[in-house]
A = this chain, B = another copy of it.
Amino acid sequence: MNSQKYSIGQLAKASGCKVETVHYYEKIGLMPEPSRTVGGHRVYALSHIKRLNFIRRSRDLGFKIEQIKDLLKFIDEPDHYCGEVKAMAMQQARVVQEKIDDLQRLQLALNEMVNQCKGSNYSIDDCPIVDALFTNKS
């Protein structure tokens, strides 16, 4: 059986985050309080590495901490079903699509401004970008 032990530094490295972040996840209850050495250093097992990877991957996908708590609840508690997880993933996909749409609108506006502008050494008083920023949205 695998009963390999890991220090917090090894755990952090394995999951690509900082030691302080692990402390933080423990404080907010995402990571459990692990056992300790006699001197007080945290000691982790492989399951902790998996759990931290789950958290980091979820964060990378844009899930918020509170959502990850929910996801972990599904996993930690018995009697939960795949459908609940799928629903959260779909909701997240919708949120991400909205962000993309927003940013694309924004990109359009920026590019329009930039294309209007001759740039170089014109006085700022004639800058169409400054103009656009000063003008009210209709």
Contacts and interface: CB of A to CB of B under 8 A. Distances in A.
Contacts of A121: 81-83
Contact of A129 (B89, B97, B109): B89
Interface residues of A, number: 53
B117 A89 contact: yes
Interface stretch (A4-12, A17-25, A28-36, A100-108): A100-108
A122 B90 contact: no
Q: Is the interface of A mostly helix, strand, loop or mixed?
A: helix
Contacts of A119: 82-83, 86-87
A133 B89 CA distance: 11
Interface string A107-132: 10111011001111111101101101
B103 A103 contact: yes
B133 A58 contact: yes
Interface of A: 50, 53-54, 57-58, 60-62, 71, 74-75, 80-87, 89-90, 92-93, 96-97, 99-100, 103-104, 106-107, 109-111, 113-114, 117-124, 126-127, 129-130, 132-134, 136-137
10 contacts: A53-B134, A54-B133, A61-B106, A74-B130, A81-B121, A82-B118, A82-B119, A82-B123, A100-B103, A100-B107
